[in-house]
Amino acid sequence: MEERRLTHAELLQLKRWNTPTIYNGWEQITSHDPAADGFNLEPVTDFMPQMGPMIGYATTVIIQPSESSHKNASSWEAYREYLAGVPGPKIAVVQDLDKPNHVGSFWGEVNSNTHRALGCVGTITDGCIRDVDEMTNAGFKALASRLCVGHAHSCPVKWNCPVNVFGRTIQPGQLIHADKHGFLAIPAGEEQGLLDAAVFMDQNECETVIPAARESAGLTADELVARLNQAARQFRENALAKFRRGAEW
């Protein structure tokens, strides 16, 4: 996995863009199906949209707050050792086996601060969160299914394993970009070139289809349609010259 890790500078630059922009770049370089792979397939809520995007490498854990037999201190200790041994930045991806009948939250003020100390910048969980203001104060972003009041018998059950959240299987170490739109889990081996592709496609939009639409004052309907069509052709040609494949418009 190490050979695929991006530099901290590259991660910071990727974090400056929203997740749809990263998707636009990824679809130009991926060998996967951009209509089916990478992104969440079920609705997910960003409970801290004001924090902007987050990016990090997945750490994974499975929980089942309804089941008291899972709860023990040794699991927490072993799980924290796992987190401490993984280089950051990290996003904790949590699969809740109680879904959709949630009864408790893995997350709150204490656990978010603990994970932040261990190098995690946020979480994606198909379970619940609580203490939203306190989690935000810790600088810990959360995409989740819903809010709840208690933690029930929340405890790590299994970790450092594949998990399925919001219809997407996530592998430990997978690069994830997430914001209020949802998340994109980059398939292994496609991290390199992601930043260049995202920046190129954003500039491609800004130089063709967007100004064609915005600079339309005084044009007749025929002139506007011709202008939009020409811009779309140029957009496609630019993408084809760069990536040898088609583009959205």
Domain map (residue ranges) of the chain: 2-189, 208-243
Closest CA to 122 of 80, 170, 176, 75: 176
CA dihedral of 137, 143, 148, 154, whole degrees rounded to 10: -90
pLDDT class of 3 with cuts at 50, 70, 90: low
Is the pTM value of this prediction over 0.75? yes
Q: Residue 1: what pLDDT?
A: 40
pLDDT of residue 65: 97
Could you tell me if 36 and 195 are in contact, meaning their C-beta atoms sit under 8 angstroms apart? no
**What are the φ and ψ backbone dihedral angles of 128, each rounded to 5 degrees?**
-110, 165
pLDDT band of residue 87 (cuts 50, 70, 90) is very high
Q: What is the pLDDT of residues 202-223, one digit of tens each?
A: 999 999 999 999 998 999 999 9
- Per residue in 178-211, pLDDT (tens digit) is 999 999 999 999 999 999 999 999 999 999 999 9
pLDDT higher than threshold 60 for residue 54 = yes
CATH class of 2-189: alpha beta
> To the nearest whole number, what is the mean pLDDT of the chain?
96
- C-alpha distances (whole Å) from 244 to each of 42, 152, 204, 240 are 31, 53, 15, 4
Q: How far apart are CA 135 and CA 159, in angstroms?
A: 22
The percentage of the chain sitting over the pLDDT mark of 70, rounded to a whole number, equals: 98
Q: What is the pLDDT of residue 41?
A: 98
pLDDT at residue 245, as a whole number: 83
Task: Say if residue 84's pLDDT is above 50.
Answer: yes
For residue 220, the model assigns a pLDDT of 96
Give per-residue pLDDT as tens, 97-122: 999 999 999 999 999 999 999 999 99
Please provide the DSSP assignment of 71-119 as one string: --HHHHHHHHHHHHTS-SSEEEEEEETTTTS---BS-SHHHHHHHHHTT
